[in-house]
């Protein structure tokens, strides 16, 4: 698996762009998208107005003009810091998008016409359904599907992986991406996207944030923050007449300061940055999420469905031996196994043919033979020979059914041989000629290193793992036990995956799965989180809501953790923001009423110097905490696999209790620093 793409938190280019963005985002029409910070901006404009007309609302007191100026400046800084956080997050995405744009070139493409002739056109003129020829050294002009040929393709511009990959017609490795380069041989490609709608175009739009929409959880939290803001706004409005009744003349800037300190400005200023950074983290892991909703869904996954081959095991199941059954001779079994593998381009087929030839079988392709390709439905392949003979190779139960339909009998020792191979963790393939089963091919299958530990991590956070395989139950059980999955489905067909997903979803669970083939497309579309391989078919990538550029099926495990990190980060910083208000109550409320109600002095537990010093200290802390939390918002709260109960308790202790303690210390320190300065100004 490829490593995460590393990038400094803030580069000089990102910093410059973020500073400019902090000011350009002050436009009220833009700020209205973030109601919490819009309220702060309105407070700034009112304070700024009072700086020129101190008595506009009937305020009285000493140095009102200076006090209003100070409050206005602090509020402006608060808004700028919030805009800065969002601009930094966007800048990181835009920096990545710029590197991707460099791969976008208006190249020349060799368009094949219906009559077989070629014409050279610009890649921007290609439409969905066009067929182009691409030879070694040429750039693939747009996304497409290989319909003829086999070639090595350099996808480093997209994936960051320098090693070329093989793309060929048919199977699950036929998809190619526009902007990649053919290194050797040639490919005939059918274009699968219109100009401006390629995978690279969508990828750029996503990392830039141009197509980012607020996720359901983000919308829900934003609604909560707006509700809290409205509540505190009502509290502030009603506080003024209460203060007058108590004989306290509250200044307008003081009420604004109280309101800004009480509303959730910290999380309001960081909420957008957290969402953008979450998408960015997924992208840097070489995974393209089609929406923020997909990333969020990863954090809520309850059930994970994984293919065995290529995900849990290495996937290149190689033929290791032949076991005759029913009195068949070994040479006959080897010959028929070789015949069925002549046109089988899978690793299993190629290794079977190679092993047969190693054992002396040198069969050529018979004249007039008709080869039957493997399908997920039939789970077997083979060849129909001249004279009416048929040879088949496939899953033992599929071959048994085929032979019985032909009127043949299943050898008594077949089940024993299948069980022996399965017990070794291998995959048995039965071979038959007409209605007679000849024997079993032993395919060795090895579980990837570290899979058991990774599934244990998932189990610790309450995620159930289910392995799907076309193997027989005994093989499936052996592999499942070795890998440490929670359950398995043997002899699995595409429709079985869909049925399983629907069953889990009917129980209220969020389901994730991986796939790369056209037969996986319906299941990928049905799952809440569908991770398609970049090497897979166009159908699979269209059906999924995530695409892994490295084509590593096991990456779904890391993607789930990134999704959980996003949810944890948002929840932790929301807890911290709301907890901050507790300290601000003890700073501002006593300062406002202590002169008229001396008994409130008992609430001044921080022993703040003066009412003005207390209010401004709380306001300054409220502003500077936002940039202090930007690194945490961008990097995310570190995720540790544990139960939801333990995770909640830990985060409440760290961000809940920490959110209460930090402002007490911070406001007191700021008060000690600014009190001498305020004394010089006569406050």
- So which residues are the catalytic ones? 307
Q: What share of the chain is helix, strand, coil (3-state, %, to 5)?
A: 55, 15, 30
Instruction: Give buried/exposed letters for 565-604 (b at 16+ CB in 10 A, else e).
Output: bbbbbbbbbbbbbbbbbebbebbbbbbbbbeeeeeeeeeb
Distance CA 108, CA 314 (A): 39
HSE-up of residue 630 (Cα within 13 Å, Cβ side): 21
Place of tokens 């939801």: 644
Angle between helices 35-52 and 216-245 (to 10 degrees): 40
Distance CA 473, CA 488 (A): 9
Q: What are the Cα distances from residue 125, in Å, to 110, 131, 202, 357, 483? A: 11, 12, 18, 49, 49
Q: CA end-to-end span of the chain, whole Å?
A: 62
Distance CA 628, CA 662 (A): 12
Query: Do residues 97 and 204 touch, judged by C-beta distance below 8 A?
Result: yes
Sign, CA torsion 167/168/169/173:
negative
HSE-up of residue 73 (Cα within 13 Å, Cβ side): 8
Q: 367: which strand partners?
A: none
Query: Do residues 377 and 493 touch, judged by C-beta distance below 8 A?
Result: yes
Cβ count within 10 A of residue 515:
33
Distance CA 683, CA 678 (A): 5
Bridge-based pairing state of the strands 108-112 and 118-122: antiparallel
Query: Do residues 670 and 70 touch, judged by C-beta distance below 8 A?
Result: no
Distance CA 437, CA 405 (A): 13
Distance CA 540, CA 172 (A): 9
Tokens found for residue 72: 């206005």
């Amino acid at each position: 698996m490829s490593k995460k793409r590393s990038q400094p938190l803030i580069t000089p280019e990102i910093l410059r762009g973020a500073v400019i963005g902090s000011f350009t985002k002050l436009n009220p029409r833009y700020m209205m998208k973030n109601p919490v910070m819009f309220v702060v901006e309105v407070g700034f404009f009112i304070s700024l107005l009072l700086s020129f007309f101190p008595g506009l609302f009937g305020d009285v007191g000493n140095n009102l003009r200076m006090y209003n100026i100070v409050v206005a400046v602090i509020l402006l800084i608060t808004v700028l810091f919030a805009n800065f956080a969002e601009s930094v997050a966007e800048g990181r995405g835009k920096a990545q998008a710029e590197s991707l744009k460099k791969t976008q070139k208006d190249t020349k493409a060799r368009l094949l016409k219906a009559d077989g002739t070629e014409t050279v056109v610009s890649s921007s003129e290609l439409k969905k359904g066009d067929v182009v020829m691409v030879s070694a050294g040429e750039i693939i002009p747009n996304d497409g599907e290989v319909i003829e040929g086999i070639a090595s393709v350099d996808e480093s511009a997209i994936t960051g992986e320098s090693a070329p990959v093989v793309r060929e017609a048919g199977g699950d490795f036929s998809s190619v991406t526009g902007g990649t380069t053919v290194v050797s041989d040639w490919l005939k490609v059918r274009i699968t996207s219109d100009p401006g709608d390629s995978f690279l175009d969508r990828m750029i739009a996503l990392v830039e944030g141009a197509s980012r929409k607020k996720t359901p959880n983000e919308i829900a939290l934003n609604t909560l923050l707006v509700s809290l803001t409205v509540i505190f706004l009502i509290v502030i409005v009603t506080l003024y007449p209460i203060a007058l009744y108590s004989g306290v003349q509250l200044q307008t800037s003081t009420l604004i300061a109280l309101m800004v300190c009480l509303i959730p400005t910290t999380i309001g200023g960081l909420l957008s940055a957290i969402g953008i950074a979450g998408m960015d983290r997924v992208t840097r892991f070489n995974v393209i999420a089609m929406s923020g909703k997909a990333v969020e869904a990863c954090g809520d996954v309850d059930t994970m469905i994984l293919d065995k081959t290529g995900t849990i095991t290495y996937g290149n199941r190689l033929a290791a031996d032949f076991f005759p059954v029913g009195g068949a001779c070994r040479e006959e079994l080897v010959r028929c196994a070789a015949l069925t593998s002549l046109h089988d381009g899978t690793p299993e087929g190629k290794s079977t043919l190679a092993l047969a030839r190693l054992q002396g079988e040198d069969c050529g392709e018979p004249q007039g033979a008709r080869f039957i390709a493997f399908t997920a439905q039939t789970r077997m392949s083979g060849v129909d020979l001249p004279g009416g003979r048929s040879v088949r190779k496939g899953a033992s139960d599929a071959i048994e059914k085929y032979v019985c339909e032909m009127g043949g009998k299943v050898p008594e020792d077949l089940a024993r041989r299948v069980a022996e191979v399965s017990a070794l963790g291998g995959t048995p393939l039965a071979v038959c000629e007409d209605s007679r089963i000849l024997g079993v091919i032993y395919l060795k299958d090895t579980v990837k290193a570290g899979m058991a530990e990774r599934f244990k991590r998932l189990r610790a956070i309450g995620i159930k793992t289910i392995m799907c395989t076309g193997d027989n139950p005994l093989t499936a059980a052996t592999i499942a036990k070795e890998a440490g999955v929670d359950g398995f489905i043997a002899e699995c067909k595409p429709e079985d995956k869909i049925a399983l997903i629907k069953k889990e979803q009917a129980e209220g669970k969020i389901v994730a799965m991986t796939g790369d083939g056209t037969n996986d497309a319906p299941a990928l579309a049905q799952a809440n989180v569908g991770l398609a391989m970049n090497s897979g078919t166009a159908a699979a990538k269209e059906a999924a809501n995530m695409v892994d550029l490295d084509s590593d099926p096991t990456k779904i495990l890391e993607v789930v953790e990134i999704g959980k990190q996003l949810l944890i980060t948002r929840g932790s910083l929301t807890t911290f923001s709301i907890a901050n208000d507790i300290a601000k109550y003890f700073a501002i409320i006593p300062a406002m009423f202590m002169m008229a109600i001396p008994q409130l002095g008992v609430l001044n537990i921080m022993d703040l110097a003066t009412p003005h010093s207390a209010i401004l200290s709380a306001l300054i802390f409220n502003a500077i905490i936002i940039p202090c939390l930007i690194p945490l918002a961008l990097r995310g709260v570190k995720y540790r696999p544990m139960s939801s109960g333990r995770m909640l308790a830990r985060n409440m202790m760290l961000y809940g209790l920490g959110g209460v303690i930090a402002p007490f210390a911070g406001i007191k320190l700021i008060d000690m620093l600014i009190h001498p300065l305020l004394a010089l100004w006569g406050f």
